[in-house]
Chain A
Amino acid sequence: MNNKNEIENWDIIINAGSSEKHYWFDLWRFRELFYILSWRDIKVRYKQTVLGTLWSIIRPLLTTLIFTIVFSKIAKLENPSNAPYALMVFAGMLPWQFFSNALSESTNSLIGNANLITKVYFPRLIIPASSVITSLVDFLISFVILLGMMIYYQYVPSWHLVFLPIFILLVFFCAFGFGLYLTAVNVKYRDFRYIIPFIIQFGLYITPVGFSSEVIGDKWKLLYALNPMVGVIDGFRWCILGDEIHLNSFLFSVVVIIISMIAGIRYFRKMEKSFADNI
């Protein structure tokens, strides 16, 4: 019935059961919505809470202080880094805080934007993606503190610093990959969000934030790198402090991030169609 000419004329073809063909093109077309939603989240965050900015400074600082006291002074863990212990902790705290904020923000993002999802079409991927951006702003603010701390300790960063954007991107993908999966699950099982704080707290202990990953024995290094944040935090310390990096476990973490990212996107896209019905 349809000759070839006619088929090519249609802009959108929706077939029951099959996924959309122009998904990635659509995502590009809706980039302005992505900017504006990110802008909204940032604006609202720093408008609503007067403490917004202050909060993103105080939290990592206090945690660093406590971790330094607990791990360095009380537990007397060794410090393989050339930098002071507090600086080492903070260099790990930065990506961790970025990751954990981004993860919890993106997990709640779909539910938080339910009114959009049930009323307008756009590639849903935009919502968790823009929520991660807010955490990026927090990260940048805390980064300024790191600079302050470096001046205080009179520590000159290594030239590796130029690679930092790559590692920031890695954290972004890591949080985004897991966040996509979690937020899709969260739509279906609404009580899932109560598990997130637990996951984050648990993650903090199995991630080398308060200590260096050098503490872990060589035998276990690769297994430890199954936690993708291990490689990322090592990378941050390599960038900022010029610490040694265990290349194999770093690459292993990168592979884990890539796999989780692909799996996250696939799962999200599979569930995406039913969001409006379930939310």
Chain B
Amino acid sequence: MNKLIEVKDLSKSFLINHEERESYAALRDVISKKAQKIFSFSGWKASKITKEEFWALRDINIDIYQGDRIGIIGRNGAGKSTLLKILSRITAPSKGTIKIKGRVASLLEVGTGFHPELTGRENIFLNGAILGMSRLEIKNHFDEIVSFAEIEKFLDTPVKRYSSGMYVRLAFAVAAHLEPEILIVDEVLAVGDAQFQKKCLGKMEEVSRNHGRTVLFVSHQMSAIETLTNKALYLQNGRLKNSGPTPEIINRYLHDYEETTEIKNYKQRSGNGKAKVVKLEVQKEGIRASAVKQGDFFNVIIGIECKENLPMDISFVLENIKEQSIYCTQLSDLQLPLQVEDYVEVEIPVPLSCLRSGDYLFSMAVFRPDKSEFYDTVLHFPLINIEGMRIIGSFPVDARWGDLYFPINWKVNPKL
């Protein structure tokens, strides 16, 4: 078989600056620190920057052959995106060698380089060129792209006037018509409505299966990985933990995932242990889930075990990834505290369907109603991932958007 990519002993490290809060250095800081060093009598004390080396990837060895459709799975921070970035030559490795045969196109974001002032037509050419298509290729595919995106009418409208759905459709349509030997795709399918997602998946499947193209694909959606890929790489803390046929690797990953997200093994907790949280999971329509779609309601199931007959009250805090609380509720808000003999299961129908996409934590406490004793407290347990729009307009959705998101129709009042 024809080997297209060979990765040998690949490692990537970042220096993390513990003192600086901003991601980039300011010349003013560097100068003032130098000055402090010179003028301060205490010598080096004045400027204490602790630099820590962080290995995003460690000793990765992979061989990829022609026609392989490879899914890359792992938890957040496992190094998936870094691996894709190195393979697409955006960032350089710290150690190791990579050899690649053929043209690589990477799709790490939908609509990279789209300019809001330019029209749909112009952006197709711009985006196509950025993704590595030649002018001729774009011209040949132009009609296909336009009809795939369903934007015929708005071809000559600046994309800043597009709805976010149209924007995403156009962006994906361009990307879907790339024809490289190797296609690298980061989690870009988490955008757009379900129907369009399906269409995109179908298109990708067709491209990889029928045209023998090699695809590397990162996603949190196991279902997408399963339908699109035949082999999978499982990354954990920057190391390649497993690789092999997709179903097998997904099973292993899910098994690990459940183990680490099992409340029994969770370390950040305290309390006197008279009662203990032994079950904690998110359910959607009665089925356990680790992720739900944006806009869906979900329930949290808490199982508590105790050795003796105890009165108890329970409080529950939903937190964002920065451990700030978003929503808080307590059993005794509306009802009487419980009296539990051996085991009780409570269900909290979380009344929020408007969480922004991202990861959410939660904290909880089980305590005697007069707060004289805390039986068990759990802090910042990673509870759930909300899947949803990664891009709104042309902006990536991240913490800056706040914790809540609801699409609303802005009302524009005409001038009188």
- Residues facing B in A6-38 (CB within 8 A) are 9-16, 32-33, 36-37
Interface string of B71-104 (1 = CB under 8 A from A): 0000000000000011011111111111111111
Contact residues in B for A43 (Cβ distance below 8 Å): 117-118, 122
Do B97 and A13 have beta carbons less than 8 Å apart? yes
Contact residues in B for A117 (Cβ distance below 8 Å): 90
Partner-binding segment picked from A54-62, A79-87, A221-229, A270-278: A270-278
Partner-binding segment picked from A132-140, A165-173, A188-196: A188-196
Do A121 and B126 have beta carbons less than 8 Å apart? no
Do B102 and A14 have beta carbons less than 8 Å apart? no
Do B97 and A16 have beta carbons less than 8 Å apart? yes
Q: A165 CA to B92 CA in the complex, in Å? A: 39
Contact residues in A for B122 (Cβ distance below 8 Å): 40, 43
Do B28 and A115 have beta carbons less than 8 Å apart? no
* Given A14-B92, A116-B112, A277-B14, A36-B98 contact (CB < 8 Å): no
Additional A-B contact list (8), CB under 8 Å, known A12-B104, A16-B97, A116-B112: A13-B97, A13-B100, A14-B86, A117-B90, A119-B90, A187-B24, A188-B25, A189-B26
Q: B129 interface residue, CB < 8 Å from A?
A: yes
Closest to B2 in A: A9
Do A44 and B117 have beta carbons less than 8 Å apart? yes
Contact residues in B for A276 (Cβ distance below 8 Å): 85, 90-91
A26 to chain B, nearest CB (A): 10
Interface string of A175-203 (1 = CB under 8 A from B): 00000000000011111100000000000
Closest to A48 in B: B117
Q: A118 interface residue, CB < 8 Å from B?
A: yes
Q: B108 interface residue, CB < 8 Å from A?
A: yes
* Interface size grouping (class) on chain B: 35 or more
* 10 closest A-B pairs by CB: A189-B27, A121-B89, A273-B92, A12-B100, A36-B129, A14-B98, A10-B99, A276-B91, A119-B112, A191-B26
* Interface size grouping (class) on chain A: 35 or more
Do B98 and A189 have beta carbons less than 8 Å apart? no
Contact residues in B for A37 (Cβ distance below 8 Å): 129
Q: A117 CA to B11 CA in the complex, in Å? A: 21
Q: A120 interface residue, CB < 8 Å from B?
A: yes
A24 to chain B, nearest CB (A): 16
- Interface residue SS majority, chain A: helix
Closest to B394 in A: A115
Q: A37 CA to B125 CA in the complex, in Å? A: 10
Do B91 and A277 have beta carbons less than 8 Å apart? yes
Interface centre among A116, A119, A188 (most CB of B within 10 A): A119
Do A11 and B112 have beta carbons less than 8 Å apart? no
* Given A10-B101, A120-B112, A276-B90, A16-B118 contact (CB < 8 Å): no
Do B93 and A16 have beta carbons less than 8 Å apart? yes
Interface residues of A (CB under 8 A from B): 9-16, 32-33, 36-37, 40, 43-44, 47-48, 115-122, 187-192, 273-274, 276-279
Closest to B158 in A: A47
B167 to chain A, nearest CB (A): 15
Do A119 and B109 have beta carbons less than 8 Å apart? yes
**Interchain residue pairs with CB less than 8 A apart (12):** A12-B99, A12-B100, A16-B11, A16-B95, A16-B96, A32-B134, A36-B129, A119-B90, A120-B132, A121-B104, A188-B25, A190-B26
A187 to chain B, nearest CB (A): 8
Interface residues of B (CB under 8 A from A): 11, 14, 24-28, 30, 85-86, 88-104, 106, 108-109, 112-113, 115, 117-118, 122, 125-126, 129-132, 134-135
Q: A9 CA to B4 CA in the complex, in Å? A: 10
Do A11 and B26 have beta carbons less than 8 Å apart? no
Interface centre among A9, A16, A37, A277 (most CB of B within 10 A): A16
Q: A118 CA to B106 CA in the complex, in Å? A: 11
Q: A6 CA to B117 CA in the complex, in Å? A: 47
Q: A40 CA to B106 CA in the complex, in Å? A: 21
Q: A11 CA to B92 CA in the complex, in Å? A: 17
B53 to chain A, nearest CB (A): 13
Contact residues in A for B109 (Cβ distance below 8 Å): 115, 119
Closest to A19 in B: B92
Do A14 and B89 have beta carbons less than 8 Å apart? yes
Contact residues in B for A119 (Cβ distance below 8 Å): 90, 106, 108-109, 112-113
Q: A192 CA to B132 CA in the complex, in Å? A: 32
Do A121 and B129 have beta carbons less than 8 Å apart? no
Contact residues in B for A15 (Cβ distance below 8 Å): 97
Partner of B115, one of A10, A11, A40, A122: A40
Do B88 and A121 have beta carbons less than 8 Å apart? yes
Do A13 and B93 have beta carbons less than 8 Å apart? no
Contact residues in A for B24 (Cβ distance below 8 Å): 187-190, 278-279
Q: A204 CA to B151 CA in the complex, in Å? A: 50
Q: A33 CA to B113 CA in the complex, in Å? A: 12
Contact residues in A for B30 (Cβ distance below 8 Å): 189
Contact residues in A for B108 (Cβ distance below 8 Å): 119-120
Do A120 and B131 have beta carbons less than 8 Å apart? yes
Do A189 and B118 have beta carbons less than 8 Å apart? no
* Given A116-B113, A189-B30, A14-B97 contact (CB < 8 Å): yes
Do A9 and B101 have beta carbons less than 8 Å apart? yes
A199 to chain B, nearest CB (A): 14
A250 to chain B, nearest CB (A): 34
Q: A115 CA to B90 CA in the complex, in Å? A: 11
Contact residues in A for B99 (Cβ distance below 8 Å): 10, 12-14
Do B106 and A121 have beta carbons less than 8 Å apart? yes
Do A33 and B92 have beta carbons less than 8 Å apart? no
Q: A90 CA to B106 CA in the complex, in Å? A: 48
Interface centre among B11, B27, B88, B92 (most CB of A within 10 A): B92
Contact residues in A for B86 (Cβ distance below 8 Å): 14
Interface centre among B108, B113, B126 (most CB of A within 10 A): B113
Q: A121 CA to B184 CA in the complex, in Å? A: 12
Do B113 and A120 have beta carbons less than 8 Å apart? yes
Do A120 and B88 have beta carbons less than 8 Å apart? yes
Closest to B94 in A: A16
Do B90 and A40 have beta carbons less than 8 Å apart? no
B117 to chain A, nearest CB (A): 5
Q: A263 CA to B99 CA in the complex, in Å? A: 30
Do A16 and B92 have beta carbons less than 8 Å apart? yes
Contact residues in A for B117 (Cβ distance below 8 Å): 43-44, 47-48
Q: A122 CA to B88 CA in the complex, in Å? A: 10
